[in-house]
Amino acid sequence: MSEAFSDTYAEARRRFLDLVAERGAQLESVPHPTERGADGEELAIDVATFGDPEAAKSFLVVSGTHGQEGFLGSALQLELLRELEIPDGVNIVALHALNPWGFSHHSRTDEDNIDLNRNFLDHEDPFPRNELYRELFPTLCPEGWTEETSDWSGVLDEMVRAHGPQQMITALSGGQAVEPTGITYVGDRPAWSHTVVAELLPHVLANAEKIAFIEWHTGIGEWGELAHICSLPAGSPGHERVVDWLGESARTSFSSSARMSEGHTPSYTGFFSAWLPSTAPWAEWAGLLIEVGTYDNLTVLNTVRIDRWLKYATGQTYTSREEMLDLMMEGLNPASPAWRAAAMKNGIDAQMRMLEGLTQW
């Protein structure tokens, strides 16, 4: 199953489009109007419907919200759809590369440094102030990458003592409008990807009455294991269906993996999966974001810091930019065959459970 991994966005997209053609899926592609890929290739959001487009039940699978994490998400889409016999009354909608620029350029964010998973909010409303982020920014995003600045665990410990773990982790990860060159930047407008899916998905899902979904990410959780983040209201029918289909661990796996913040999780703003049901408000929804764990929380957070450093910083480093890029990619897309096998096994199992649940719903 690890053979489903691609080495580049261009390869992943070609393999996805080949599968669409082989299976006769219905395809909607929106090329990026201004940007090109790392090798000059076309960038696009591709949405394919496998099975009957008129089906009343749709299973939506999303890859590449955060660019580097698209390698696993794309592989899981390919592995799911290669030979699957799609049940009657159901279709599978694969949204390939929500952030194609980040996927191709090995970046968490898009071409404007917008974190797409913080951008799906009402940009007409004032964004909540994040003054703690402003205070933290010089340490979080240093100009130089030295042994001293790369190890900032002491700063995090002091933040927890001064502000508590909940406020600390929300300031770090919840989203911010303070610094456009910082991490988790929400943007000052809907990103290009946001505008594309806001127009495309209501059309693609027009016939759906019941929708299940998984949005794939990597980083948080135990090595190769799943951590579940369900944005549907706790106790709602959609939330309870997710737990029924995936098991009780879906309630607690994310918080239990948040060791850096003592089990506290961020108060996120602008989550794609929280916004997603608004694209088909006539339908019933059940779904979630799933992380596939790689390394410990601090190591993964440092990969996000490195990603930002490679874009904007010009200071000295104690290692080469190439080594930093490799370190960043390893944190979110490990090369280990054991990790890839576990990630694929657990990811396919979750996809099949969700599909079975939707079919019986």
Quote the CA–CA distance of 113 and 107 in Å, as a whole number: 9
Average pLDDT for 277-281: 98
Q: What band does 259 get if pLDDT is binned at 50, 70 and 90?
A: low
Q: How many Å apart are CA 27 and CA 46, to the nearest integer?
A: 7
pLDDT (tens digit per residue) in 76-85: 999 999 999 9
Question: What is the rounded end-to-end Cα distance, in angstroms, of the chain?
Answer: 29
pTM of the model: 0.96
Question: What confidence score (pLDDT) does residue 258 get?
Answer: 60
The residue among 95 and 132 whose pLDDT is bigger is: 95
Mean pLDDT of 284-313: 94
Three-state secondary structure string covering 160-200: HHHHCHHHHHHHHHCCECCCCCCCCECCCCCCHHHHHHHHH
Strands of 26-36's sheet, edge to edge? Answer: 26-36, 42-51, 90-96, 57-62, 210-219, 284-293, 226-229
SS3 (DSSP) at 19: helix
Residue pair 103/9 in contact (Cβ under 8 Å)? The answer is yes
Confidence of residue 161 (pLDDT cuts 50, 70, 90): confident
Domain chopping of the chain, boundaries: 2-128+187-294+320-360
pLDDT (mean) for 152-181: 84
Bridge partners, residue 289, by sequence: 215, 229
CA distances from 8 to 15, 102, 304, 310 (A): 11, 11, 19, 19
Mean pLDDT on 343-348: 98
**Quick check: 264 pLDDT over 70?**
no
- Mean pLDDT to the nearest integer, 29-46: 98
Instruction: With a cut of 60, say whether residue 1 has pLDDT above it.
Output: no
Q: Among 220, 352, 222, which Cα is nearest to 291's? A: 220
Partner residues linked to 290 by β-bridges: 216, 228
Q: Which tokens belong to 118?
A: 């913080």
Reported confidence tier of residue 172, pLDDT bands at 50, 70, 90: confident
The span from the CA of 183 to the CA of 213, in Å, is: 27
Q: Say if domain 2-128+187-294+320-360 classifies as CATH 3.40.630.10.
A: yes
Q: H helices within 67-164, ranges in order?
A: 70-81, 100-105, 131-140, 147-150, 153-163
Would you say residue 108 has pLDDT above 90?
A: yes
Contacts of 253 (CB under 8 A, 6+ apart): 221, 225, 226, 227, 228
State which H helix or E strand residue 302 sits in: helix 297-312
What's the confidence (pLDDT) of residue 261? 60
Spatial distance between the Cα atoms of 172 and 346, rounded to a whole number of angstroms:
28
